[in-house]
Structure 1
Amino acid sequence: MEIAVIGGTGLIGSRVVRILKAGGHEVVPLSPSTGVDLLTGHGLPEALKGIDVVVNLTNSPTFDEASSAFFRKTMDTMLTAAEAGGAGHAVILSIVGVEKVPGLDYYRAKMLQEDILRAGPIPYSIVRATQFFEFVDAVLSWTADENSVRLPATPVQPIAAADVARAVADVSAGDPLRGTRDVAGPEVFTLDELGRITLAARGDHRTVVTDDSAGMFAAVPGDALIAGDGAVLAGTSYREWLAGQRS
């Protein structure tokens, strides 16, 4: 099977490319560094000609209201080129609970991306993942100073990027779902608890202060970011992942 991975040099995309190649597929990683720009469409029609599956793992450069324009433009560009090239399956990566958080600009933008794919001309699959382990440091930095980190008690169920990549690769190599598949980590934490675990593992003596108004995830209601029934649970625990980072 010939599979194009747009965003194939990024955190998830590079892993997806390796997994699919190891599975015997012919994989074409696409990014500005390979001469393909999804935002402008430069190089895309040629790159998608004759492709069986197109996987879109690009992300908006911002999390604000401009992200909606990014996803609208890039999805329209991708679907036009993919249809012309004869692709029979289009895959994107989204977020577990994305429809439950209308208060966040970025989540509304990801919902728009999903809607455009569903309404498009190509059989599709949507993989929804929970928050990545790899993003925890960034989340902590948003509300940190030299003495403390303020975090809300928002429940999260984080997952390793490697496990997300495996899920995306598995879906990409299969028949179109014509729907969604949720993937999540094996454990649920509150975000403030996750912050304490992270700082302790790294010997960081700052205090985590529970503040339900702090940071982007303060806008998340209830258990919106927790995977529901039917989700695929990955095997890597957060503490195992942290230990691997130290080694």
Structure 2
Amino acid sequence: MSFGTPEMWVPRTLPPDAQAASRLREWMEGGGKGGLDIIGLDLSDADLSGGDFSESWFTDAKLINTKLIGADLYRSDAEGADFTSADLTRASLVRVNFDDSFLREAKLDEANLVKASLCDVDASGASFRGTRFMGASLLDVNLRGADLSGAVLQENSFKVTLDNNTKLRGLSGTLFGPVQLIDLGVTRELGGADLEQWLRARGGDICVLSSRGRERP
């Protein structure tokens, strides 16, 4: 189901913000063709689960506590958007631009983040259980206290910040480091074999790659 057939899909809850709700209604009345332009608007507390928002513009929008369970945001621009405590469980987030966004305490369990861009993102306390990150770029991403249990990586840029509260059991695949590790208030860089050993000690099944793509011995 998608916005392309609005009689088959309607938001379970419209955003309380009048301007955002009006923009969403107008787009639906137009058949949902083309991307939704919600730049800078407030979609907080809406339930848009199951919607098709492919190639939409969420730039600088607020989506605090918004439900997007199973939604499709393929190739959408969410740069600078605030997804704090949003629920994107099982969402299709392929090639989405999340640069400079906020994913604090957000739920992205079993989401598809293949080839997504996450640069300068605060995802502290977020849940990525079973999330697929293959080919995604994670650069300067705050993952302190995040849950990456069962997530899958494949040759991902993984220059992130972790701490001892980051859950890593079942994390699998390959990545390029290094990461910043914060332990008892002290920050240190961890890469190569040391990073691989640290991840494996916490239940991850990870191979750390060199800059030339070869697995370190």
Larger helix percent: 1
Task: Determine which structure has greater relative contact order: mean sequence separation of CA pairs < 8 Å that are 6+ residues apart, divided by chain length.
Answer: 1
Relative to the length of structure 1, the TM-score reads 0.25
Relative to the length of structure 2, the TM-score reads 0.27
